């Protein structure tokens, strides 16, 4: 049952798994099976060690410091920006803005880029599978500026109706905001096609890459995307750090998001001038240690053959889907072709939280709830689902543990 797939043979998941010390622990006397990486991935030893070593022996505040440690820390901080630039293949390092995470990055675009452009009746096109982080900032503009949110549906298998999205873009559309990969369905959107269609009508595109960048190799130049958002903690890095890629042409005209130190050029009693990007959008002391950790995590992930990792994750998804077909009382939500390694499901007669609680007692960590995607839950007429999300450190044995746990839960709850 646990024989490795030939397609995934070039990636050694067991070897990678050894990089994550937390995966060797037990929960309730059972080996930990961590299937919640879609919410937050575990951190490899090298990320934790690098952050600790930096904090212990190299830390100082960055920029403008003339002493040795400040200069060295500044070098590490700006080197991290170049690491993100390389990871996303951005044309320039000043197109990378460090943020607290994906949520702040999207809010930055909403406030700094779109809010000054919105007039009553102007439209923002979204899909029904967006995370709340890619919904709520646009609701702010609906409430405060009279923007109209236009929703694009998904098909019953969870795939995006690209023709419907194209039709939703009108001469009133000011932005298309779309996920790269759904955090609930695993659906991978045809991002390049979406961007081409939007640009043909003169409309910029923001892509929420918080899931997509983990599982797909991203080239923002090839995509020609206007804004692309990532968050560190899903990329095997720390919390409290993320990044926004934005085309330089957009950044030049965007107003500051937060005010304070670092983002200014000159402050006087009667006037103020602002720094250029990226400093303009990075007010205050940044998350220096976390930024160093993010760079290390991206280097770690990039050290693998990304295609081999993707094949391994696809093998896990395929195997899990095959094993779950034995349960005629379980409904998988979303089976779009080419989907990522995420499975959301509901079970007859079992609340998602009850099911997840029993799985937890078996050592299997899954997420239960609406996954910050209530619009999508409404689309599929469910209040909540249980979700298993796979990462490079998962194996077929983890799938077997999930299946065994589901069988036990069925016996207890029905």
pLDDT digits (tens, 9 = 90+) for 158-178: 999 999 999 999 999 999 999
User: What percent of the chain is modeled with pLDDT above 70?
Assistant: 98
**Which regions of 258-313 does DSSP assign to beta strands (E)?**
264-267, 272-274
HSE-CB for 326 with a 13 A CA cutoff: 10
* Chain mean pLDDT for the chain: 96
State the pLDDT at residue 10. 78
Closest CA to 344 of 323, 370, 325: 370
Taking residue 254's Cβ as centre, other Cβ atoms within 10 Å add up to 19
- In CATH, the number for domain 48-302 is 3.40.640.10
* Average pLDDT of span 24-51: 98
- Torsion angle of alpha carbons 191, 192, 195, 196, nearest 10°? -150
pLDDT beyond 50 at 7? no
Residue 6 predicted with pLDDT over 80: no
pLDDT tens per residue across span 359-378: 999 999 999 999 999 999 99
Q: Which fold has domain 6-40+305-413?
A: 3.90.1150
Determine the 3-state secondary structure of 331 from DSSP: strand
**pTM value > 0.85:** yes
Contacts of 293 (CB under 8 A, 6+ apart): 43, 47, 48, 50, 51, 232, 237, 238, 241
Given a cut of 50, whether residue 261 has pLDDT beyond it is yes
Q: How many helices (H) and strands (E) does the chain have?
A: 15, 17
Q: Which of 48, 60, 279, 372 is catalytic?
A: 372
Predicted local confidence at residue 214, as pLDDT = 98
**Distance from C-alpha of 310 to C-alpha of 307, rounded to nearest angstrom:** 5
Instruction: Categorize the per-residue pLDDT at 25 as very low, low, confident or very high, splitting at 50, 70 and 90.
Output: very high
Identify the band that residue 413 occupies on the pLDDT scale cut at 50, 70 and 90: confident
Residue 8 has pLDDT above 80, yes or no: no
The first and second tokens of residue 22, run together, are 């937390």
What is the per-residue pLDDT across 49-95, written as a single tens digit (0 to 9) for each? 999 999 999 999 999 888 999 999 999 999 999 999 999 999 999 99
- For the chain, the structural domain boundaries read 6-40+305-413, 48-302
pLDDT at 1: 40
Told to judge if 372 belongs to the known catalytic residues of this protein, a careful annotator would answer yes
Mean pLDDT of 18-25: 98
User: Which of 413, 281, 274, 266 lies closest to 349 in space, CA to CA?
Assistant: 413
């Amino acid at each position: 049952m646990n024989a490795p797939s030939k397609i995934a043979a070039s990636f050694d998941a067991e070897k990678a798994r050894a990089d994550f010390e937390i995966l060797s622990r037990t929960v309730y006397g059972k080996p930990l099976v961590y299937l919640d990486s879609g919410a937050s991935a575990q951190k490899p030893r090298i990320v934790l060690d690098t952050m600790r070593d930096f904090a212990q022996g190299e830390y100082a505040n960055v920029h403008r410091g003339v002493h040795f440690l400040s200069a060295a820390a500044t070098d590490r901080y700006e080197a991290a920006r170049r690491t993100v630039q390389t990871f996303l293949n951005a044309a320039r390092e000043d197109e990378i803005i460090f943020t607290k995470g994906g949520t702040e990055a999207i809010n930055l675009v909403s406030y700094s880029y779109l809010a000054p452009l919105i007039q009553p009746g102007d439209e923002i096109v979204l899909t029904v599978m967006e995370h709340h982080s890619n919904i709520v900032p646009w609701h702010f503009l609906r409430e405060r500026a009279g923007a109209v949110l236009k929703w694009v549906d998904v098909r019953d298998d969870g795939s995006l109706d690209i023709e419907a999205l194209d039709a939703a873009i009108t001469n009133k559309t000011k932005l298309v905001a779309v996920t790269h990969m759904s955090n609930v369905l695993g659906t991978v959107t045809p991002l390049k096609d979406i961007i081409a269609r939007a640009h043909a009508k003169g409309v910029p595109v923001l892509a929420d890459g918080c899931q997509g960048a983990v599982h797909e190799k991203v080239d923002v130049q090839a995509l020609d995307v206007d804004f692309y958002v990532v968050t560190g903690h899903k990329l095997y890095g720390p919390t409290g750090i993320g990044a926004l890629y934005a085309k330089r042409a957009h950044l030049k005209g965007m107003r500051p998001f937060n005010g304070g130190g670092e983002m200014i050029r000159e402050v006087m009693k009667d006037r103020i001038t602002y720094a250029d990007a990226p400093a303009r959008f990075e007010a205050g002391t940044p998350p220096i240690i976390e930024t160093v950790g993010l760079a290390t995590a991206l280097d770690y992930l990039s050290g693998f053959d990304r295609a081999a990792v993707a094949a391994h994750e696809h093998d896990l998804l395929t195997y899990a889907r095959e094993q779950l077909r034995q349960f005629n009382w379980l409904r998988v939500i979303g089976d779009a072709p080419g989907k990522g390694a995420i499975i959301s499901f509901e079970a007859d007669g079992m609340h998602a939280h009850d099911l997840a609680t029993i799985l937890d007692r078996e050592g299997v960590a899954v997420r239960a709830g609406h996954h910050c995607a209530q619009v999508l839950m409404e689309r599929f007429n469910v209040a909540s689902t249980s979700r298993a999300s796979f990462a490079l450190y998962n194996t077929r044995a983890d799938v077997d543990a999930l299946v065994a746990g589901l069988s036990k839960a069925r016996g207890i709850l029905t």
